[in-house]
Amino acid sequence: MRKLMAAAVLFAGCVPAFSQIQFRDITAQAGLRFTHNNAAFGKKYLPETMGPGCAFIDYDGDGYPDILLVNGEDWQGHKRTTSTLKLYHNNHDGTFTDVTAKAGLAVSLFGLGVAVGDYDNDGHDDIFVSALGQSRLFHNNGNGTFTDVTKAAGLWGPNEFSTSAAWVDYDRDGKLDLVVANYVQWSIDGDLRCTLDGTHKSYCTPESYKGTSARLWHNRGGGKFEDATQKAGLYDPTSKSLGIAVLDYNGDGLPDIFLANDTQPNKLYLNRGNGTFEEKAVASGVAFSEDGIARAGMGVDAGDYDRSGHPSLIISNFANQMLSLYHNEGNGLFVDEAPRSEVGRNTLVTLGFACFFFDYDNDGWPDIFIADGHIENEVERVQKRVKYAEPPHLFRNLGGGKFQEVTEALGAAFAAPRVGRGAAYADIDNDGALDLLLTTNGGPAYLFRSTGVTNHSLRVKLVGTKSNRDGIGAVVRITAGNDKQNTQSQMLRSGSSYLSQSELVLTFGLGSRTQAEALEIQWPSGQVDKLANVPGDQTVIVQEAKGIVGSRGYGKGK
């Protein structure tokens, strides 16, 4: 393994400084005092064990990501406490202030997931919260407050078990549309008894319940949405979706949609460019396990982890099912590479939820984070190795398609077992390194600050003009050095992970290099902007068809 790492270091041309990196638990000092209300009171109702999600959102546009935490609420007749969404403002000094009430977000609902996007292109990011029952859309008024516009936007009505959500401009009209994953048809009256040990009730797996189609909300403009699920060919009532990833897997410039389904085949919807999609998951090899059997897909993300130029997929699965690491072969086919590396072996026993690619050590190779935690607190009664609270996984990308687990080296607090669910990343302290936010079921949300990263990075914030304002769906390619093999690519994406949303800024690790020789942005509108010799250690704000319109330095770039 050492040989491999050395080879990777040479190949990437980076400083082997990853061993100094720590993720420090700064939850308490940051002022995050949040406990998820999962509403559990002994009846083991399925929705209790699924949440919550979390998001980084720069709601006041000051360049520092703020935090939104989703919460549940007590069941009717079992009211014990009042729980609401929570919004924490980033004070720029490593601390956060609870501004929930002031922002108008002290809303109680059985919330599960969240997606952030500027759907009306007014320059202020809005919030969609998915829920059991009625999901909500909160419009950012631009003055630190939000207004619930669910009814006015035409989103009122569906009472579903909604999970992850993602903003995507699927028809490339410059307005963000919304795709919402739905889980199963569940109600208290229809709750079934399942048991793991023959004695105690446990949470049922979703096979027992009927599925629900995901919904695609088309943005008509003027703050109005229409249900385009059937028209676009996304209607599938058998789906039991938990995760959404938006990716352009065939490189045609159109955003495709992947749905991670729990005990149902995953779905890969190829965007045909005419407002409709074609389902391709089976033929692409991402619908099933190798036996042709549906797995329990939870979280999902897409990323070009091997610099092939094609986004590959990771999908977290149930305990005793390893993470799927579907390598995009570039010909419509995906091949699962998980068993070849520690990514597969080390995730076999754990139950993963949130999962994503992010370059934690800024060496230019996207690493993999997975939040773990079982759904059943009594699972240890019947399975020796499987635990309820489980440590997360962080796999360092060694290049050449190899990964190495480094979780324990990142600090005891980070590696502690928890009942993880949602997770997101952002640079909360403007040091050019990515920090982590993790939620736990029925427990606290944790904020981990990255320290000890010495590699350089370049961060890119997009401002669309013809494209949607956030630039969601844009593919950014960076070449550090003149070798084309050093080209990294990322799509600015909403969704991914599990129930959660990371910041809408892209971070590219540069290793020991201090600039990107080439920076190319392929906007959703089709516009391609090319920039040369962009210095690292800064966040650049790039406007569509205009180039860099602002920047903020960090580290040596200050």
Partner 1 sequence: MHYRMHVPENAGSNITLHARLLYRKFAWWNTQFSFAGEPDPEQPQPGVDADDRKFNFHGSLKGVSAKHEEITDVPIETVAENEVTLPVTGHGSAPLQQKTELHAEDWQRWNDYGIGLFLQGDLKAAQAAFQKVTELDAKNPDGWVNLGRVAVQEGDMERARGVLEKALALKPDLARANFFYAKVLRNDGKYDDAVSRLRVVVAQYPRDRVALNDLGRILFLQRKYQDAVQQLQAVLAIDPEDLQAQYNLMLCYSGLGDPTQAHEHEVRYLRFKADESAQAITGNYRLLHPEDNNERQAIHEHVSVKLPVGASAKVSQKYARRQNAVPKAARPKYTKLQYAKPGVGN
Binding site residues, partner 1, CB under 8 A: 184, 190, 192-199, 207-211, 238, 263-265, 282-285, 288, 290-292, 294, 319-320, 322, 329, 331-333, 335-336, 339-341, 344-345, 348-349, 382-386
Distances from the Cα of 154 to the Cα of 86, 112, 126, 150, angstroms: 25, 20, 16, 6
Provide the minimum distance between the beta carbon of 1 and partner 1 in the complex, in angstroms, as a whole number: 12
Dihedral of alpha carbons 341, 327, 321, 317, sign = positive
Concatenating the DSSP letter of every residue in 224-241 gives EEEE-HHHHT---TT--E
How far apart CA 94 and CA 447 sit, in angstroms, is 10
How far apart CA 201 and CA 190 sit, in angstroms, is 15
Provide the minimum distance between the beta carbon of 320 and partner 1 in the complex, in angstroms, as a whole number: 5
- Of 207 and 483, the one with the shorter C-beta distance to partner 1 is 207
Provide the minimum distance between the beta carbon of 385 and partner 1 in the complex, in angstroms, as a whole number: 5
Provide the minimum distance between the beta carbon of 333 and partner 1 in the complex, in angstroms, as a whole number: 5
Cβ neighbors of 76 (< 8 A, separation 6 or more) are none
Provide the minimum distance between the beta carbon of 109 and partner 1 in the complex, in angstroms, as a whole number: 26
Supply the Cα-derived Rg of the chain in whole angstroms.
Answer: 21
- Of 22 and 308, the one with the shorter C-beta distance to partner 1 is 308
Q: Are strands 300-303 and 277-279 parallel, antiparallel or unpaired?
A: unpaired
- φ/ψ region of 114 (left if φ > 0, alpha if ψ in -120 to 50, else beta) reads beta
Provide the minimum distance between the beta carbon of 519 and partner 1 in the complex, in angstroms, as a whole number: 33
One-letter amino acid identity for 379? V
- Of 136 and 327, the one with the shorter C-beta distance to partner 1 is 327
Give the DSSP H/E element, type plus range, for residue 371. strand 367-372
Provide the minimum distance between the beta carbon of 423 and partner 1 in the complex, in angstroms, as a whole number: 23
- Of 126 and 336, the one with the shorter C-beta distance to partner 1 is 336
Tokens 């065939």, located at residue: 250
* Strand partners of residue 497: 300
How far apart CA 159 and CA 182 sit, in angstroms, is 10
Provide the minimum distance between the beta carbon of 208 and partner 1 in the complex, in angstroms, as a whole number: 6
Longest dimension (CA), the chain: 66
- Of 62 and 290, the one with the shorter C-beta distance to partner 1 is 290
Give the DSSP H/E element, type plus range, for residue 116. strand 111-117
- Of 259 and 518, the one with the shorter C-beta distance to partner 1 is 259
- Of 343 and 516, the one with the shorter C-beta distance to partner 1 is 343
- Of 265 and 364, the one with the shorter C-beta distance to partner 1 is 265
